[in-house]
Amino acid sequence: MSFEIKSRSDQPEKSRRFEQYNDVFGKIKRKTEQIKQKYDAENTEMDSFSPDLLPTNERPMMLSNDVYADYQRILRLTNENNAEYNFLWLGNRRTLDSQEYYSIEKVITLPQPSILERSSANPLEKIEFYNSTNEHDDYDVIIDGHSHPAQEPSYNGFDQLPQPLIDELSLRKPGENYSINDLGTYRLLLESKIKDKTIIGSVITYTGELLTAVSDPNDNAPIPTTIRQIGAEATDDTIILPTSKFDEEKSRRFFEE
Ligand SMILES: [Zn+2]
């Protein structure tokens, strides 16, 4: 079995969800531009969006030992080489004691070198690769991700941003935010209409945070949410990874005005 890529007219219900998401995506870009103008920063290259502005998804995420080892590997490579790395993980929605959670269980080894490094990565190329394997048959959650190193040419100019702009957008340090481009990539993946799968767009920051944007088909959420409790099974204990902190007031101001 492989994914079915369907045209928009085949799936009216999902299409509505994507349109809602497109509205949100457009709003993020528009609002960011407005705020840049307000602080005379139109000409800066800044295209960051704070994970703190995404509301909390009630479902926690649990990583298997294999996936946790891959997380550690990517974090190490990112910091050793100061470069971005891609990853693709699979999982399932599960329930434990009536608590639903995302169980992330499987690491897909990406073919080298074409899509291992971000510089040559195209998200649809990853999906194409994914479709060509049978490894996804037993999984209904896809985590498409890449890492953010501490230093990057695209962070240039961040130091010159006015502090009130940084405050208004809740921006964190370079490498600890999504880029607006990352959200665009995530929207592309949602639009690929991978049938009945939950797609999570993810970033591992150089500091070890696992940022997660999820627009769950079962939630029909107009705003993508983020998972703030991420546990990893390691030896006998469960390790909780650091995650972003929801800034409710600033989020409401950003999305509702
Ligand atoms: Zn990124």
- Give the pLDDT confidence of 210-245 residue by residue, as tens digits: 999 998 766 666 788 999 999 998 767 889 999 999
Q: How far away, in angstroms, is 39 Cα from ligand 1 center?
A: 24
Q: How far away, in angstroms, is 115 Cα from ligand 1 center?
A: 15
pLDDT of residue 170 exceeding 60:
yes
DSSP string covering 34-83: HHHHHTT-TTS---EE-GGGSPEESS-EEE-HHHHHHHHHHHHHHHHHT-
Residue scoring higher pLDDT (45 or 133): 45
d(C-alpha 221, C-alpha 216), whole Å: 7
Render pLDDT for 24-41 as a digit per residue (tens, 0 to 9).
888 898 999 999 999 998
Q: Across the chain, what does the average pLDDT equal?
A: 82
146-169 average pLDDT score: 89
116-120 average pLDDT score: 54
pLDDT confidence of residue 136: 67
In this structure, what token pair is assigned to residue 82?
């100061």
Residue scoring higher pLDDT (46 or 76): 76
Q: How far away, in angstroms, is 92 Cα from ligand 1 center?
A: 24
Q: What is this structure's pTM?
A: 0.86
pLDDT of residue 121 exceeding 70:
no
CB atoms within 5 A of ion ligand 1 belong to: 179, 182
pLDDT confidence of residue 3: 34
Q: How far away, in angstroms, is 147 Cα from ligand 1 center?
A: 7
Q: How confident is the model at residue 153 (pLDDT cuts 50, 70, 90)?
A: confident
The CATH fold of domain 32-256: Cytidine Deaminase; domain 2 (3.40.140)
Are 201 and 133 within 8 A, CB to CB? no
pLDDT confidence of residue 14: 46
pLDDT of residue 13 exceeding 70:
no
Q: How far away, in angstroms, is 241 Cα from ligand 1 center?
A: 19
pLDDT of residue 113 exceeding 90:
no
Q: How far away, in angstroms, is 95 Cα from ligand 1 center?
A: 31
pLDDT confidence of residue 158: 85
pLDDT of residue 185 exceeding 90:
no
158-187 average pLDDT score: 91
Q: How far away, in angstroms, is 136 Cα from ligand 1 center?
A: 24
